Structure 1
Amino acid sequence: MPSLDESNIFQDTLEYFVNGGKIKKRGNVELSLALKTLEDVSKSKGLTTEDIISLIKVAASGYHGDVISCKLIKCLVPASQFPVRAVELGLSFMCTSKPSNKVQATLLRLLIAVYDYIDEKETVQKLGYLLFYFIENTVLTPYVCHLLYLLTRKEDVRLYRVRKLLELQTKLGPQPYLIGLLSIYKLYFPNLVSIVIPNTRKQFFPTRDRQWYAVIKEVQERNQAADTAHMKSSLELSEKLQAAELSMLHGIPPAKRRKVDPIPVVHSSSSKLTVKLSSRLMAMLEEKPLPFVQIQNIETLLKNPDRVELPSQMGAALRSPLLQCFMSYNADPLMTSRFSYWIQDTLCEKLLYSTQTPACFPEIESILKKLIQFTEFIQEGIPVVDKVLFRYLQIWNGLDFRQEIFRLVSRCRLYPFSVLNENILEPLRKLFVRTSVFIKCQVMLCLSQLLQNYAMVEIPRYNQKYPEAKPGISVFEDDIGMFDPLTSVIELIGYVDRLASVGLALENDHNILLHFTLSFYELVSTLHARYGLPFVYLPSRHMIRALLCDNATGPARLCGVINSYKSNCQMLKDDATNNEIEIPGYQKKETIHSLNILILDLCDSLWRRKAFSHGRNNSYLNFDLEHLATEASDGLSLYLHQAFLPFALLFLKETQPKENIGHPKGIKNVRDMFMEFLQRENIGEIKDFILNTITRYRNSTSDTKNKV
């Protein structure tokens, strides 16, 4: 609590500015002390609504000159909410000839900075028409456009305003702030705005007063933390009063969050209505807009899709499941544009512009997690989030928000490979080669999920968008131009394939990294069967490293992957429609030829016991026999392979007497029984592979079943 002396000093300071006469500026020590006191109080605990109203009358009038007026305006930091009466006074003084352009610009910057804390935004929206009269003032134009962008409703769009903005664009050139305001007008009435709005996703209104924003935010956090502590003590006291427990607890508002959540809540002045309306009056009001804050369930939302009045801040979609549902099925360009502007500004401020400290990490993680939940709900990435992500990955240390960043990358939109390589793959490659094996595994998982997202969501959306031009295929539209999506996907697979080869070489074929690499190959092998992509991409020769693994899951999963490749190639060959599709850089015949060679190598190694003595020059296991022992070819057989020797020993212990356990070579004549044993040990991929590739074994197995 401030002392009585401090309170008196602050009141004397207010009296000095509000009720004092003309203030001398040069060499005025009293003025310097008063400004210092006011600045300290505003930065420590903020000003009350009454103090803000009193000071804005003095500051907006310009009575004490530009320097003092601007300093007073910058001290108008609200302790909780910014009063709408202060907004009315500020705009009223702007309509007079008293304040200079500098003071007016500072006033508009103040309104932008405290916009989220204004208590009645609907009243400010009604005053928006006054702001348009300042649009021709080149000093004020950027700030006027920014405020109008936030305040504009459908009924505010008028033809004369569009014409005025187009005239200004002709005069000043294509300024970002003019294009930003025109983009909102075009979303409401495309027929009124004839110009083409560029699809650069550039920030229309870059933040200029970051330090001012930071002061306001710190004051809000500090005051809300104090309110929370006070409320907690009050609740503890109320629990002790047994007789009045229900009456005291009734009506107590929920505890506020300890920190200011940057995600806004659904807000509307209509939420303050507590009067129950009669059925007749409700019938009269049926055609009026229905504020979103009054919608309590999905049924009400579906019954009134055309009457819904959007909240003043579309960022509330991250908090409201109902608003997410409304955005997903309505796909209104106005909603998506407002949300895109908010999320781009918020992410740029949190990730790119501000200095990140451990204290702010929970807040940023909360935003990113809610954003991930939103993208998972609508099943698509958000273009402006991709653009911010592209910039952040260039400066990312690979540690901060790693899980959230990887999840957002996996939801990235489909772009030409050159864009992907420059903005996503290259930063991830640098992270991949210099970090531990566990982060390498996370990168592989992220890129696998990105490929799955492309195959399952993005390619179907792209194919619907351009050839058929179907409406409503995406919530967030982003026209990135025509390109071949299949070529991008094939080049992405090749890039990840090479990256996995480097990672396995760096980590000496680490089992965990090999697991994620094989999971990626399993996904690639099923792209045609599961997602209908008209190609089968066979990885490079380093894939055979899994055969030499000392863990049984490596060779077994390799057999499963090759088996999947074989069946997908057969499906692709039988599908006549896919034979007509030509993909640049993709050779189907070469892929099938390489797959046949790999199948022969696996059969020669595991079944025929001639891994290095097959006599083929194009083998994956092509070694000079002069440098190999004669028994080397038998070393990769099913029962002598280093990964299967423990299972061979267990098999012999189960099938042979304890005093006469033979050598694993004896399993040669009962390989079918050994494969049944492996299948019982959850290593059934090898049996499936042998059945699908060795015709003689398949026929003998079927004959045995028929006899039984």
Structure 2
Amino acid sequence: MDSAEELPALHDALDLLHKASRTPAKQRVVKVSSIVDVICRHAFESGLDQDAFRDVVQLVSVKTNLDQTSVTTLVKNLYPAQRVPADVVVTVVGALGQGKGKPSPGTQESLVKWLTAIHEIIEDGNVLSRLYGVLFGMLDMISIRTSLCHLLSLITRRKHVKPFRIQQLLELSRGLGNEPALQGLLRVYKDYYPDIILGSTSTSRKSFAPRQDLEWRTRISAIQEVSATTDAFSVDHHDGFKVLRKGPKRSKLAAVPEVHTYYTTETSVTLEGIDNVEDFVEKLDRIEPPGQLISLLTDPLLQKYVDLKPSPIISTRLDLWLASCLEEQYEAERLNAGDAQYLTEVLDGLFKYAQYTKTLHPTVLVFLKEYLPIWNGQDNMDSILGLLSYIPIESFADVYSAYLSPAEQALAGHGLDTHAKLIDFYTSLLQHQATLAMSKNDHHTTTTTHQILTDLTTHVAALSTSLLLSLPPATGATLTSSILTFYELLSTSSKPHIIPIILPPMHLIYLLSQTPGSATTLSRVCGIIGSYKVSFDQHPKPVKDYYPASVTDSLNFCLRDLYNLLWVSRALNVVEQKSVGLYCHPALRASLKDYLSGLDREYAVGTAFGLSSNACLASSSAAAWRAAEEQEIEREGYDRNSIRYHQGPVSQRSLEVLKRKGGVCVDWDGAGGYKVFVLNWLAERGLAGIRQFMFATVTDLKGRV
């Protein structure tokens, strides 16, 4: 059912629900449960627009004749199609408390739980903060106190923690005993005021708000993905301008603590009190640093604060914590007495911080140099390789000896996936080095960068070739993809006078191009070579002043070999100073020719690797021909009962025969011909590399297409 048909049904259902809410149950002629079902189904499938959303909220926020089950069902299905408007939040908060027209205690409990679920997706993020005093004043209500404590625990900031509220909470706690939710809220207050003395310091899983219902989270995310609003959101949204809180299940012994500013006064400005970017910018110069600066490893707001307001004291505090922590972790690991979870959290935090700063802290470099030789190659692999991708390089040989070689040795022997991850790591390292080169454009740096990138790519080429030759072809798909990703990045990273054009060894390209049965691999190889051709075409002229003839000759040989292979039926052809025939020895080519012609006089080496007969492309080319043939039959109005269909494989000669014998008329190599059609057909199905290669190689082909 489309939206044009659904919306009137929803509005009709809302009208009926309003009438039912004013009519005693015994006087109704329509069953309320069926009306509620229509509204909830619409809300569950596509969310409620703001008009319908307000309508339902206003209905459940007052006392009516609707039964409790119907009202609870409506509240549980309040899925907004957009962010929740501030006035709706005010309406819900206004429904809480004692009063003649207030909804039932059960409904109020459901509304508070709903506020907890949507508190991060409100249009005006400060509306609950402004209503904090109203919510806090209702803690004496037994029916909603637990859920209210959970909500307040989530929205409490430094500015809300006042002496009179601390006093009220302590009095409530003494009067009620060890009520879990109240103890949880007191624990939040104690984070801001450590001097608060609690009667009991224990908390349980009931002390804090439980995670949102999985079904609710899944539905709200799905609704937003298809929502027409441009202000899409996620229930896990965090914009980096609020202190990051990870919830009550976080271990008290966590390696990286959350941000807390201790011993503050009512006039103090803290990171915990920041709610948005405007607030952060306005108060930056007055913000007091938190108690443990190491929280910046995981907290985006603290990272921004330290980056924008650096100081020697802050740097010293970080250095001391990292040096102490990492030395302790290294010694523990060396003695096989380490805490795996603790080390994981530290390394994950260091990696996140490295992603933010794009550098490695010197203490981390010292740790990695000592730790990598004893690393088992499996624990925290992603974090360690991620950290190594940001390693500063002055000499690739030195860095390889100290860091990369131990990492490779640790990874060796852990299966095929680790080989692919190793190549992925080198791709990340290449990307970081290229980014550094672009940002530091001076003569000395450029010369050093050229040498670093040359040494790096030479090593990866040797490593890739060794891995490909040592693994069975059928088992290396992931590794092959990783190698291709590396060269896709390398082929598009060159920048005249800054980042040189560095070719892969052509024997590796030829090895990859002959990967059995993979059209995707062949397409990506062609795309890589096409990108190199474009890079040389766009390079300042004359190219020979920048690159030796051996480099350009190597690429030209490869261009001709792939062109001969796919386009002009001269596969494996060796011509001195022009092509090497994929390093196929002329005697072997002659033997293959004799073998194929002995099977069928139509068979030939030259055509065996073209678009129609290539083992990787034959099935796709056949499907493309069927589409082209059907298109021509439709366009020319041929009689399908009498038309002669091509039996395949398609060749220049077979198309001429087909035309003479009553089939469709399609050129072999023209603007609308078979080969051009196949190129486009493959590109539309994810194999665009072959077309990209042909565009780069045949100068007039792009215009014909």
Q: Normalising to structure 2: TM-score of the pair?
A: 0.53
1:528 counterpart SS class: coil
| Residue 580 of structure 2, aligned match among 612, 619, 640 | 619
Aligned to 2:493: 527
| Residue 363 of structure 1, aligned match among 335, 339, 342 | 342
Mapped pair 1:453 → 2:426: no
Say whether the 8 Å CA contact 2:683–2:691 is kept in structure 1: yes
Residue ranges of structure 2 left out of the alignment (5+ in a row): 1-189, 192-197, 210-246, 594-603, 631-639, 654-667, 669-673
Spell out the pairing of 1:271-290 with structure 2 (5 A cutoff): 271=264, 273-274=265-266
Residues 693 and 309 of structure 1, relative CA distance in 2, 3 Å threshold: same
Give the superposition deviation at 1:325.
Answer: 0.9
Aligned to 1:672: 676
Aligned to 1:688: 692
Query: 2 CA distance for matches of 1:503 and 1:611?
Result: 27
Letter in 1 for 2:345: S
Query: 2 CA distance for matches of 1:604 and 1:341?
Result: 63
Spell out the pairing of 1:47-58 with structure 2 (5 A cutoff): none
| Residue 517 of structure 1, aligned match among 466, 478, 483 | 483
| Residue 410 of structure 1, aligned match among 381, 385, 389 | 389
Say whether the 8 Å CA contact 2:396–2:455 is kept in structure 1: yes
Give the superposition deviation at 1:678.
Answer: 1.9
Spell out the pairing of 1:599-610 with structure 2 (5 A cutoff): 599-610=559-570
Give the superposition deviation at 1:521.
Answer: 0.5
Query: 2 CA distance for matches of 1:671 and 1:255?
Result: 63
Aligned to 2:96: none
Spell out the pairing of 1:249-260 with structure 2 (5 A cutoff): 257-260=250-253
Query: 1 CA distance for matches of 2:533 and 2:454?
Result: 18
Mapped pair 1:650 → 2:616: no
Spell out the pairing of 1:174-185 with structure 2 (5 A cutoff): none
Aligned to 1:629: 592
Say whether the 8 Å CA contact 2:487–2:528 is kept in structure 1: yes
Letter in 2 for 1:611: A
Query: 2 CA distance for matches of 1:270 and 1:460?
Result: 45
Letter in 1 for 2:263: S
Letter in 2 for 1:539: P
Letter in 2 for 1:589: A
Give the superposition deviation at 1:359.
Answer: 9.1
Deviations 1:474-514 (A, max 9, x none): xxxxxxxx982331122111111111111111223422211
Mapped pair 1:485 → 2:449: yes
Query: 2 CA distance for matches of 1:291 and 1:313?
Result: 13
2:582 counterpart SS class: coil
Mapped pair 1:589 → 2:549: yes
Give the superposition deviation at 1:639.
Answer: 1.6
Query: 2 CA distance for matches of 1:539 and 1:494?
Result: 8
Query: 2 CA distance for matches of 1:623 and 1:232?
Result: 69
Mapped pair 1:538 → 2:503: yes
Say whether the 8 Å CA contact 2:438–2:498 is kept in structure 1: no
Aligned to 2:402: 423
Aligned to 2:536: 569
Say whether the 8 Å CA contact 1:391–1:423 is kept in structure 2: no
Give the superposition deviation at 1:454.
Answer: 1.2
Residues 359 and 660 of structure 1, relative CA distance in 2, 3 Å threshold: farther
Give the superposition deviation at 1:354.
Answer: 4.1
Say whether the 8 Å CA contact 1:382–1:412 is kept in structure 2: no
Aligned to 1:640: 613
Mapped pair 1:663 → 2:661: no
Query: 2 CA distance for matches of 1:355 and 1:568?
Result: 49
State the aligned residue count: 426
Letter in 2 for 1:629: L
Give the superposition deviation at 1:602.
Answer: 0.7
Give the superposition deviation at 1:405.
Answer: 1.4
Query: 1 CA distance for matches of 2:611 and 2:343?
Result: 52
Say whether the 8 Å CA contact 1:382–1:413 is kept in structure 2: no
Give the superposition deviation at 1:399.
Answer: 0.8
Residues 532 and 638 of structure 1, relative CA distance in 2, 3 Å threshold: farther
Which deviates more, 306-315 or 515-524? Answer: 306-315
Give the superposition deviation at 1:642.
Answer: 0.6
2:256 counterpart SS class: coil
Mapped pair 1:598 → 2:522: no
Query: 1 CA distance for matches of 2:384 and 2:317?
Result: 23
Query: 2 CA distance for matches of 1:678 and 1:461?
Result: 38
Deviations 1:100-130 (A, max 9, x none): xxxxxxxxxxxxxxxxxxx99xxxxxxxxxx
Query: 1 CA distance for matches of 2:278 and 2:620?
Result: 60
Query: 2 CA distance for matches of 1:674 and 1:342?
Result: 62
Letter in 1 for 2:583: N
| Residue 382 of structure 1, aligned match among 339, 353, 361 | 361
Say whether the 8 Å CA contact 1:636–1:642 is kept in structure 2: yes
Say whether the 8 Å CA contact 2:270–2:287 is kept in structure 1: yes
* Structure having the larger proportion of residues in helix: 1
Letter in 2 for 1:459: A
Letter in 1 for 2:685: E
Give the superposition deviation at 1:234.
Answer: 7.5
Letter in 2 for 1:625: P
CA RMSD of aligned residues (A): 3.9
Give the superposition deviation at 1:552.
Answer: 0.4
1:608 counterpart SS class: coil
Aligned to 1:112: none
Give the superposition deviation at 1:264.
Answer: 4.0
Which deviates more, 336-345 or 347-356? Answer: 347-356
Aligned to 1:396: 375
2:253 counterpart SS class: coil
Aligned to 1:498: 462
Letter in 2 for 1:537: I
1:414 counterpart SS class: coil
Query: 1 CA distance for matches of 2:563 and 2:443?
Result: 45
Letter in 2 for 1:560: G
Letter in 1 for 2:378: L
Residues 335 and 588 of structure 1, relative CA distance in 2, 3 Å threshold: farther
Which deviates more, 385-394 or 328-337? Answer: 328-337
Give the superposition deviation at 1:296.
Answer: 6.9
Say whether the 8 Å CA contact 2:293–2:314 is kept in structure 1: yes
Letter in 1 for 2:686: N
Residues 324 and 435 of structure 1, relative CA distance in 2, 3 Å threshold: same
Residues 621 and 316 of structure 1, relative CA distance in 2, 3 Å threshold: closer
Letter in 1 for 2:518: N
| Residue 263 of structure 1, aligned match among 256, 259, 269 | 256
Letter in 2 for 1:408: L
Letter in 2 for 1:335: I
Give the superposition deviation at 1:259.
Answer: 3.9
Residue ranges of structure 1 left out of the alignment (5+ in a row): 1-118, 121-223, 237-253, 278-288, 468-481, 581-586
Q: Normalising to structure 1: TM-score of the pair?
A: 0.53
Query: 2 CA distance for matches of 1:538 and 1:574?
Result: 18
Letter in 1 for 2:396: F
4+ long deviations beyond 6 Å: 233-236, 289-297, 355-359, 464-467, 656-659
Letter in 2 for 1:563: G
Residues 573 and 377 of structure 1, relative CA distance in 2, 3 Å threshold: same
Say whether the 8 Å CA contact 2:572–2:581 is kept in structure 1: no
Give the superposition deviation at 1:688.
Answer: 2.6
Say whether the 8 Å CA contact 2:427–2:486 is kept in structure 1: yes
Query: 1 CA distance for matches of 2:206 and 2:278?
Result: 40
Query: 1 CA distance for matches of 2:396 and 2:337?
Result: 35
Residues 532 and 515 of structure 1, relative CA distance in 2, 3 Å threshold: farther
Give the superposition deviation at 1:464.
Answer: 7.3
